Amino acid sequence: MKVFVDSDVVISSLISNTGAASELINNLDIKKIISNLSIKESEIVKLRLNINKPLPMLETIVIDNVKKYSTYSIDPNDAHIVAGADQAKVRFLITYNLKHYKIDKIKRDLNIIIMTPGMFLQYLRLSDKID
């Protein structure tokens, strides 16, 4: 399974080794994808928060045509996250910023489900019990 992760999830995984973000980032069964723009964003936040840990090694994609995704986010600066998830062809976008996105529109138009790391891990645990 592959997911697209927002930079807030990456930063959270660096801050705490015990939270849902860390559990997700360190799960070897899940392919985590991030965009080139999110990597830059993560580096800036790392410096601002004085985090000395390296960013995790995630598959990185270079995104294009971000502008066409602006209708999917409340904040135009978050359109690149939706663009990355769509262009990575993932089913799940993992973020702590649920309020920044038009969740129903993204699910309807792009078939991408937006969840927090904790919600996604619960989903995985439930789906394992069903199988």
State the Cα torsion 29-59-19-30 to the nearest 10°.
-20
Q: What is the pTM of this model?
A: 0.93
The model's confidence at residue 64, banded by pLDDT at 50, 70 and 90, is: confident
Does 130 have pLDDT greater than 60? no
Neighbours of 4 (CB within 10 A): 31
Q: Where are the alpha helices (DSSP H) in 17-110?
A: 20-25, 36-48, 79-87, 103-110
